[in-house]
Each structure stands twice: as C-alpha cells, then as structure tokens.
Structure 1
Amino acid sequence: MKKKEFYLPSSNGTSRLHCIQWIPDGEIHACLQIAHGMTEHIERYEELAEYLAERGICVYGNDHLGHGMTASDKTERGFFGEKDGAVLLVKDMRRLWLWGKRAYLEGKHFLLGHSMGSFLVRRYLTAYGDGPDGVILSGTGAPPGAAVAAGVLLASFVCRTKGAHYRDKLLYEMSLGNYNRKFAPVKTASDWLSRDEESVKAFEADERCSFVFTAGAYRDFFNLILKTQRLEKEGKIHKEIPVLFLSGTMDPVGEQTRGVSRVYGWFDRAGVHDLTKGLYEGARHEVFHEINRQEVFSDTFDWLARHL
C-alpha cells in the first residue's frame, strides 16, 4: 500500500485542497472518496483506508476548506468563505471526484461521508446528475427543520453584527453542546464521539481537531442542511444509487437511530431501491473510531464488494 499527498485548486479560486490517497499494491477493484466531518481532517481515516487498500480499494479524500492542511493557518480553521461556503465544500468534492474519475478509468467509484461529510454527500446527490456507483453515509441525521432554521437566523445575526469569522458560544451550544449529556459523567468534551477512550484522547490532542466553527460556517452549513433535506423530502435524489447507512445506536447526531431512520424513509419514499442500514449497538458517533471498528471496517468492505 502506498500513501500519497497532493493538492488540487479549490473552487473558491484561492485555496489549495490538501488531499491524501491510499493506493493498493496490487489490482485496484474500486475507488472510494471520503468526505470527513466537522472539525477534523482526512488523515483520521487512515486506519479505514489502509484496511480497504489492503483489499484492493483505492481510497482518497481532501481536507475541506477551513480544515486540516487546507486551512492556510489556525485562524482559518472553521471558516469556509464569506458567502455560500458550504456550497464550496460540495464543489470541492466534485473537483476531487472528477480527478478520481480521470486518474482511475476502470472500476466503480463510491462516495463515503461522515457526519458533516454525510450531509455534503447527500447534497452532492441532489446537485449532480452523474452520481457515484454507491454511497455510504456514516453518522448522519435529520435535525428538525425549525431548529436548523433558528440556527440560520442566529448565525446570520452574528455574521451581521460581529462578522463571519466570529466564534459564538451560543452557536456552539446549539450545534454540539448537548451531545455529551447522555454519557455523563464524562471525562472530556468529546466523549460522545466514541467509547474508545484512546481514540477520544487522540482527537482531543490533535491540533487539527476540536476547534470551534465560525458564525459564517454555521450559517452556511445550516443552510445546506435545510436545502438538502427539502430536496430529499421532494424525492429529488438519484433512484439507482445503492446507499449504506452506518450509525451507532447511541449516536446523538442520529438521535439514537431515529434521525437515521427518517433519512432512510425519505430515500425509500423517493424510490431508492437499494438501501441498507448498519446499526451498531452501544456505539457512539464515530463508528470508524469505535471499539468495534474492525467489525465496521469489515461490513463496509463487504458492502463495497457486493456492489462491484
């Protein structure tokens, strides 16, 4: 297995997207592009990528704008752009997708999105006609529209009064502040991510993780969620694309599977005929960093293999 880092120009016209690919030593059976979640970076998926690369799956992904090594400095972490920043993230995914299609002409191409990345992938499915050969949605959810709309109003107000780069405590509390409550007593602010204490410690210690989103990023991400869920409810998604949902039964983002089931229902009513749910008892938000992650890796590969 070979690991390569490279850069692509961002759709914002100025930034360079930091990308990593994990390339199998032997025959490549398929490609998987990963869209990472909020306040993390693509290299956190290395264990999953190595597992899949050893089995013939070429894996690649990029650090989103405002994340990882794509962010020009620490002050840019948690900031997408002055306007429609989340749309830029989806467009950047498209740029990497087209790169992958050119680089690997043979075999099928799949998309995986975790948490925020799952919402970006869901928006991708409503935006582009030439969809992937399959999609994996990890740690996704269906937040109530009224709550998301309230978040848009608050974030927009903060942007107008304090600027899009401002980091607002109330916005953070609305978005992530309640996630730890079901796991009290907790040792860290990130216990809701995983039962694996070492994984949580690594996340907390990683300077490229656990920063606070700006008001502009919250505004743009909340707007993307509203539009995505509206289009999904209207059935404006690809019908022929297989979809795998992965979630821990204790994931607060998925509302302990209730939110995942709502999204599954929207896809089902839209006519998507190949839907699979993988629910892991007791697991929290980051199933790829859980104590049973080898089981999740195996299930992910098995699903990919069935759809080659």
Structure 2
Amino acid sequence: MTDPSFTTAADGARLAERRWAPDGEVRATIQLVHGLSEHAGRYGRLAAALTARGFAVAALDQRGHGLTAESTGGGRFGDGATSAHVLDDVRDLGQRLADEHPGVPRFLLGHSLGSAVALASAERDGAGLAGLVLSGPIGVAPHMADAVPQLEAAVAAGAGDQPMDALSTFNTAFEPARTPHDWLSRDEAEVDAYVADPLCGDDVPPTYGYGAGMFALVAGCATPEAVADLPGGLPVLLLSGQRDPVGGEDAAQVTALADLMRARGLEVEQHVYPDARHEVFNETNRDEVTADLLSWLEARLP
C-alpha cells in the first residue's frame, strides 16, 4: 500500500489521496473510485497490475471513508457538504491527472457505490475521458429511488448523523454464511481481510444523511435522461459477478444500464463472470478479470 498524501477540497475537507506510478513512461492514467464502507488502500494489487503496463493510478478515500473520514466524519459528506461535493472531488483529481500528464489518455474506474459516483461524474464532467469502467456496478435500481423519501424523512427527524444498515441484506443469498460479508467474494482470505480491516465494513457504516444523498445519486445517474449526458463516443466496460447481489440476479440491473448506454449510441462491453460475487478484482478468478480490464484499456490507447 502506498502512503497517502492529503489535498484540501474547496469546502475545507482534507482528502486522503493515493498514487501508484509506473517505472517507465506513462501510457495513460486511470482514476479509481472505491465503494461503500471501504477505502482506496485496498486497490494496491490492481494498481500494481496497471502500473506494470504503464498506467499511472490515482484514488481518493471518498468522503466519510478511510483516512478522509478523519476530516469529514465517518460515513458523512462533511459539514455542509452533499453528494455534489463527492463529484467535485472526482473532477478535481481528474483535472490534476490531466495537468500532470497532458495528452495522455485518461480513464475512470468506479467500483460498487463508486461505480455510481464514476457514472455520475462522467455524465457531469466526462469530457476528455478515454473510457469508463464500472466494476460491481449497481445499474438501474428503482428500489433505491423508492428508499430515498424514507431516508430523507429520517434526516428531517434529526437522524442525519445516525448510522444506517446498508449492507446486511446482501448476505441473505449466502446464508448460512461463514461471515456477514460472504457476498463479497468466494475467496475466504479476501473476505477475512475485509472483515479484519478497521476501515471497512461494519466498522464504518454510512449515516442516514450520507445514505439519502448517495441513494438519490445512484438512482438519478442510471436513467435515460442522465445517460444521455454521457459524452458521445465514450467507451464503457461493465464487470459483474453473476451472483453479485448489488447488481441484481444475473446482473439484470447492470444489463438494463448497458441497454440504456447502447441506446445512447455508446460502445459497451459487458462481462458477467459465472458464480462470481461482488468484488470481481478480489474474486477467485481475479486474474481473468484483470486480464479483461487490461485488454480493454490497451485496445483504447493510441
């Protein structure tokens, strides 16, 4: 794991940032956006595979997560901040990468909740992206839109800073389970590492205020109107496990998103890995997934 540096956002939040650099020439940059109840430091193995092929990699601990939570508070956007500030953070890091590596292709990869952040970011600020990769994506999820009024009511009742349970139902399909997080991967060592990480899982739940903002973002970014805002010609790669409860049975919610993107005229490549669960880069077939990612990325380099 690389040591983080820190950058200060416009609203004063202190954001932890990790960088992984190739030994030689930078062929392209790739910005990673992690998921809920985890942090950017978990992506070291993937970053090593990318840097070995000439990609410079950068990632933030999102607001409310990892070392950034020391500034914003755990599971919170930060005082006065909203989901729009999360998108601003992604935009600002992307701009720094573009400034540091002018003329080099720039890719954006989001995992899980980070896939929705990456998608919304590409819709709002995606000009100049060479490609968008969504791992463990949520897809078209009307049930999340349905939950927003309840979450907003909890916030209005004064529970905005109270923790909410956002993950436990994902394990239902795997009961009787060895851990509460068997839904993440078939690789028991990877699940155990997640459970043992003090910056992951039940140790860092989102608050109702965070949930209200992010559920609205998730639901809003996967509509025909929102997808229409993606840059024309943007290539998209979707990577899902067949048994990932986040993307629906057999990745049905993700396929619905792929259909919206194709209707938009975009080039979409979708992989659904048999029997794989949520964290495809930490799955038993992770070498296959990483190879598919690298092949897709390199096919889009000049």
Please indicate the TM-score interval, normalised by the length of the shorter structure.
over 0.9
Q: Tell me, in whole angstroms, the C-alpha distance in 2 between the residues paired with 1:248 and 1:233.
A: 25
Q: Are 1:21 and 2:23 an aligned pair?
A: no
Indicate conservation of the 8 Å contact 1:4/1:22, yes or no. Answer: no
**CA RMSD across the alignment:** 1.8
Q: Tell me, in whole angstroms, the C-alpha distance in 2 between the residues paired with 1:163 and 1:81.
A: 15
Indicate conservation of the 8 Å contact 2:2/2:41, yes or no. Answer: no
1:124-163 alignment runs, 5 A limit? 124-128=121-125, 130-145=127-142, 147-163=143-159
Question: Structure 2 length normalisation: TM-score?
Answer: 0.93
Q: Tell me, in whole angstroms, the C-alpha distance in 2 between the residues paired with 1:117 and 1:123.
A: 10
Residue deviations 1:198-222 (CA, integer Å, cap 9, x gap) = 1001101100111211000100001
Calculate percent identity across the aligned residue pairs.
34
Distance 1:25 1:84, change over 3 A: same
Instruction: Tell me the secondary structure at the aligned position of residue 20 of structure 2.
Output: strand
1:95-114 alignment runs, 5 A limit? 95-114=92-111
Task: Note the residue ranges of structure 2 that are not aligned, 5 or more in a row.
Answer: none
1:205-224 alignment runs, 5 A limit? 205-210=196-201, 211-224=204-217
Distance 1:20 1:180, change over 3 A: same
Residue deviations 1:105-142 (CA, integer Å, cap 9, x gap) = 13211000000110011101221252411010001123
Q: Tell me, in whole angstroms, the C-alpha distance in 2 between the residues paired with 1:66 and 1:4.
A: 19
Q: How many positions carry a matched residue from both structures?
A: 298
Indicate conservation of the 8 Å contact 2:123/2:226, yes or no. Answer: no
Give, as a single letter, the amino acid of the residue that structure 1 aligns with 2:69: A
Indicate conservation of the 8 Å contact 1:82/1:216, yes or no. Answer: no
Indicate conservation of the 8 Å contact 1:36/1:116, yes or no. Answer: yes
Q: Tell me, in whole angstroms, the C-alpha distance in 1 between the residues paired with 2:213 and 2:7.
A: 23
Instruction: Tell me the secondary structure at the aligned position of residue 178 of structure 1.
Output: helix
Residue deviations 1:209-266 (CA, integer Å, cap 9, x gap) = 1121100010000111232123556623222110000001111111131011000000
1:116-265 alignment runs, 5 A limit? 116-128=113-125, 130-145=127-142, 147-168=143-164, 172=165, 175-210=166-201, 211-232=204-225, 235-255=228-248, 256-265=250-259
Give, as a single letter, the amino acid of the residue that structure 2 aligns with 1:93: V
Question: Structure 1 length normalisation: TM-score?
Answer: 0.92
Q: 2:4 is matched with which residue? A: 5
Instruction: Tell me the secondary structure at the aligned position of residue 31 of structure 1.
Output: strand
Indicate conservation of the 8 Å contact 1:81/1:216, yes or no. Answer: no
Q: 1:296 is matched with which residue? A: 289
Q: 1:76 is matched with which residue? A: 73
Indicate conservation of the 8 Å contact 2:220/2:226, yes or no. Answer: no
1:84-103 alignment runs, 5 A limit? 85-103=82-100
Distance 1:234 1:264, change over 3 A: closer
Distance 1:260 1:234, change over 3 A: closer
Give, as a single letter, the amino acid of the residue that structure 2 aligns with 1:254: G
Indicate conservation of the 8 Å contact 1:79/1:165, yes or no. Answer: yes
- My pick for the range that moved more, 90-99 or 158-167, is 158-167
Give, as a single letter, the amino acid of the residue that structure 2 aligns with 1:284: R
